[in-house]
Amino acid sequence: MKVTKAQAQANRAQIVDTASTLFRERGYDGVGVADLMAAAGFTHGGFYKHFGSKADLMAEAASCGLAKSADAAAEMDVLGFMSYYLSREHRDAPGQGCTLAALCTDASRQPETVKAAFAAGIEAQLASSPSPQGQADDTPSEQARARRIALMAQAVGAMVLSRSCPDESPLADEILNVCRADVLARLSGLRQGSSAAQAEQR
């Protein structure tokens, strides 16, 4: 029975979504094409009907995961987002969490197509990341972008460091707790500073 175009697109989306989860859980080298296709509910032979190579799927799965992360960040208050991001809950569920924290180190060793997907995803995340509530509207865009890059780098770095420690290591929790407290304190300071500046202008 011939597969319709709509069904083929649905099958491809299922493979990409499954790959996005498995890559975050196990890393790029920890997932073979046969295992991935079986998890998605398809045969190994069907892979090359959809993708030219595993690297092509890696790039598309990265774009999918990064887009979901950007959407999630855009829907949340920045303090709430950072509180969750730098939490044990997020740390212990890499397959459902941030693609950057799960796969950045892997991506650095992958083909340019995969790196390009990460670069595009990082840019989208920077564009959609919530700003501190109350931040002055006249904050220079370069300054706002610099703050977002710094916050992203600290949050992602903290998660990577924490996950590199044994699951029950006190250090794993300490890294998250210290960085979460620092990030939230700086964000709260930005809010208070912006509110004070707005009050003075009135």
What pLDDT, in 10s, does the model give residues 32-60? 999 999 999 999 989 999 999 999 999 99
Domain 5-201 has CATH 1.10.357.10: yes
Q: In this structure, what DSSP letter does residue 95 have?
A: G
Least confidently predicted of 75-79, 105-109, 113-117, 127-131: 127-131
For the cut 90, the answer to whether the pLDDT of residue 162 exceeds it is: yes
- Residue 82: the pLDDT is 93
Please state the pTM of the whole predicted model.
0.85
Structural domain boundaries in the chain: 5-201
Instruction: Read off the pLDDT band of 136 (50, 70, 90).
Output: very low
Instruction: Read off the pLDDT band of 157 (50, 70, 90).
Output: very high
Average pLDDT over residues 11-34: 96
For the cut 60, the answer to whether the pLDDT of residue 201 exceeds it is: no
- Residue 133: the pLDDT is 52
Instruction: Read off the pLDDT band of 191 (50, 70, 90).
Output: low
- The Cβ of residue 141 has, within 10 Å, a number of other Cβ atoms equal to 7
Alpha helices in the chain (DSSP H): 5-26, 33-40, 54-74, 78-85, 88-91, 99-107, 112-128, 141-164, 170-201
- Residue 68: the pLDDT is 87
Distance CA 64, CA 58 (A): 10
